[in-house]
Structures are given as C-alpha cells and as structure tokens.
Chains A and B, each alone.
Chain A
C-alpha cells in the first residue's frame, strides 16, 4: 500500500524581516494535503539545499522580500545540481519585478509568484509540476 505525499520545504533565505507570508503558505499547503517542512528565517542556500536533500522534498518554496533573489536563486539551483537534486522544483514567492521573471525561469526556477498571487494558484501549480 503506497501512500506518496508531496513534500515541500519552505525557507526564507536572506536577512530581511518577518516570515508571516512563509507561514501562511506552509499552512495552505498543509491544508492541500502536503507535508511541509518549515525551516524559518535567515537560511543560507547551503542550509536550504542540505535540508531539501535530507528531507527528500519534491519542492522548495522560497520566500524572498529583500530583492536578493537574483543572487540567491542561481546559487540554490547550482547547489541542487551539485547534489544531483535537479528534479527538485524551486518556486519563489515575494516581491519580484516582472522583468526578473524570465531570467529566473531561464536558470531553472519553476514558478514565480508575486504579491498578488492567490494561494490556490500555488497549490495548483505544485500539484501540476510534481509527478506523484
């Protein structure tokens, strides 16, 4: 009897402020039947990727408000590749200028969700990109 569940790591890299948004997302994903590992504030790319590896997650959700996404995202993608974790999908939520969306997708970010995105859309997206 197999009972696969989608596992998601929620992390907040960088040094900026609060993690309210990250917590809301964590609860939304739980309510959608997913298992969410919440790692909290001030996570370095190395910590995030190591946690993703140990927890064997399908998705990493990054909450970034600081504007540091263009520095953090490539590093995380690079580390995932180094650890042979290319199949882990990375999504970013937060304040991301429209002009950065395409470049982020080009380096391998699966989805970008700006401040106006509905949480249902994020759930839908994850259910779509993860093959259970």
Chain B
C-alpha cells in the first residue's frame, strides 16, 4: 500500500518542508497518519543533537534559541526548532509567540521553526513534542532545539525528551532563586543566566552555584560515588560526574553564546564518553514503551468492558461490597 503518508514521508526525506510541516501536524492532531509516519521514520532517528531550553516566562529563552541557532548556522549546521506554548485551559486556543522572537531566523532555509500548543493533554507535551522532534531528526537537521515555558511539570517533561537540557534564569527577579524547587535544578545539564547586562547577575550566579554544589554533594554521598546513573522511576537520569556549568549570556547582544555552545558540546561529550547517552536513550525508550503499553492496554480493556459492567463494579465499591484492588482483579480477568 503506497499511502498518502508514505508519499509524504518520501517527500520529506527529499527535502520538502511542506511535507515535514504536514507530518508534524499529524502528530499534533494525534491522527492515525502519525503512527504510520513514525513507523516509517523511526530507523532514521537518533542522529540529531537534541537540546531542551526551559525556564520561567520572559527569561529570554526564545532569544537564546535564536542566538544558538545562528551560532550553529555559522558552522553550517542545520537547526530544527520546536517552540511549545501553553494552550489556554479555558478556551482551548493559544497564542504562540515564540516565532515572533525568532524572526531574525526568517529566510534561512537551514532553519525550520514549528510552534506547538500543549493542547492540555496529560503527558501530551512529552509525547507529541518528542515525536515532532523525531520527525525533524529524521529530516536530517543536525540540531533539534525545543523551547518550553518552565511551569508545572513542563521542565521535567522536557528533560525526558532532550539530551541536553538548558535551564534559563535571569537576574533581578527578586527571590526567584529561592523559588527554584528541588527537582528543577536536577533536570538542568547547563544553566544559562541570561540578561547578564542586568544588575544582580553576580548574586544570581553565586546562589545558583551554591545550590548546585549542595545538590551535587548530597547525591555523591547518597550514592557513595559508585553509581554512574540511576533511573529515578520518572525517567530522569541522576548522574554524579557532570558538574552543571553556569554560563552568563546576554541574548540581545549575542554575548556568551559561544560559551553556552561550548557547555552544550562539553555535555554532549560527557554523555557519549561516560555511556550516559546510551543509558538515557534506553531509559527514555523504556518509559515510552511502558506508557504506550499502559494506554493501549487500558483502551483495549475499556473497549471490551461494557459501561454497565464498569458502573456495576463502581456501585459495589461505593456500597463497600467490593474493594478497589479486587475490583481490578475482577475486571482484568474478564
């Protein structure tokens, strides 16, 4: 069967940007075509360097992504960008504003930018973003960069999909350093303190370094330094031999970009030389497999189970005739 998807994939592989855009739409729409396309593309993925950029709203993520892309373009590398913005929970719509900040990249055929809305699905950010990155990867972009606003679970999710995660901070936001939750520093592979032209930058850098130092020591002690990495169950790898660098940048003046790129390159070398890269890939794929299995098995079961049966069981739970664990046993053994 030479489906329309197959021809889209072929066109994409021969450089059609329109086909590439269409494939990403299928993924966003969670359309059946997406499954077919990914099956055809999967063998070609795993080539690009993937970079996640996250941080609080307005810290300068889009400007930094633009500068990084320009830096890589000067080295004649191609760059695919996925910029994720939140869907309004009230209307289901979204204004996607990152492309506007990346307008300096317009007209460069070595850059492809796609704006995506979270569309509010649970865990959807990780899955659809990851799949969109895969399409860009298979299309042959050397670097695939994804920007997400750091809010709620987003930054943890982004860490699961990118090889190198950059956390963007900015000085002068008062006690924002205090507000950095435990988990967030752990997902950062590189920290960029952007807006280094602003007052208070040294304080921010110092505070971040102190927190990193503390976290590093704690982890080293708890693992007795023997474990290179560990799957914490959430799919994040905690490793003890990478010291997270803190780089100062001024995105609006193209300053510190080479340093940031160097930190990314160093992290990439570390990933490859330590074997962490392979391990991360495995953990990521295992998590994805489990997640997909879960949802497939659940929808399979729900299809086989009538609403009547489900409601009947629920009623039994309500009147304490049956306990939840036994109810599950009963339902899965049908």
Q: Is A110 an interface residue (CB 8 A)?
A: no
Cβ proximity bits B96-108 to A, threshold 8 Å, 1 near / 0 not: 1101100100110
A interface, size bucket: 20 to 34
Q: Is B95 an interface residue (CB 8 A)?
A: yes
Q: Is B112 an interface residue (CB 8 A)?
A: yes
Q: Tell whether, in the assembled complex, residue B21 and residue A34 are in contact, meaning their CB atoms are under 8 Å apart.
A: no
- Size of the chain B interface, CB-CB below 8 angstroms: 32
Q: Tell whether, in the assembled complex, residue A51 and residue B106 are in contact, meaning their CB atoms are under 8 Å apart.
A: yes
Interface stretch of the complex, out of B22-30, B37-45, B207-215, B316-324: B22-30
Q: Tell whether, in the assembled complex, residue B24 and residue A56 are in contact, meaning their CB atoms are under 8 Å apart.
A: yes
Closest Cβ of chain A to B26, distance in Å, is 9
Interchain pairs with CB closer than 8 A, number:
85
Q: Tell whether, in the assembled complex, residue B94 and residue A35 are in contact, meaning their CB atoms are under 8 Å apart.
A: yes
Q: Tell whether, in the assembled complex, residue B113 and residue A30 are in contact, meaning their CB atoms are under 8 Å apart.
A: no
Of B18, B29, B100, B112, which contacts A3 at CB under 8 A? B29
Interface stretch of the complex, out of A36-44, A59-67, A68-76: A36-44
> Which secondary structure dominates where chain B touches chain A?
mixed
In the complex, residue of chain A having the shortest beta-carbon distance to the beta carbon of B81: A54
Interface stretch of the complex, out of B85-93, B145-153, B166-174: B85-93
Q: Tell whether, in the assembled complex, residue A38 and residue B107 are in contact, meaning their CB atoms are under 8 Å apart.
A: no
Query: Which chain A residues border B206 with CB–CB below 8 Å?
Result: none
Cβ proximity bits A1-35 to B, threshold 8 Å, 1 near / 0 not: 11111000000000000000000001101111111
Of A3, A26, A37, A40, which contacts B119 at CB under 8 A? A3
Query: Which chain B residues border A56 with CB–CB below 8 Å?
Result: 21-22, 24-25
- Sampled A-B contacts (22; CB under 8 Å): A2-B32, A5-B92, A31-B88, A31-B91, A33-B91, A35-B87, A35-B93, A35-B94, A35-B117, A36-B94, A36-B95, A37-B96, A38-B96, A38-B97, A38-B100, A39-B99, A39-B100, A40-B100, A47-B107, A55-B114, A56-B21, A56-B22
Q: What are the 4 A-B residue pairs with the smallest beta carbon separation, nearest first?
A: A30-B93, A56-B21, A33-B92, A56-B25
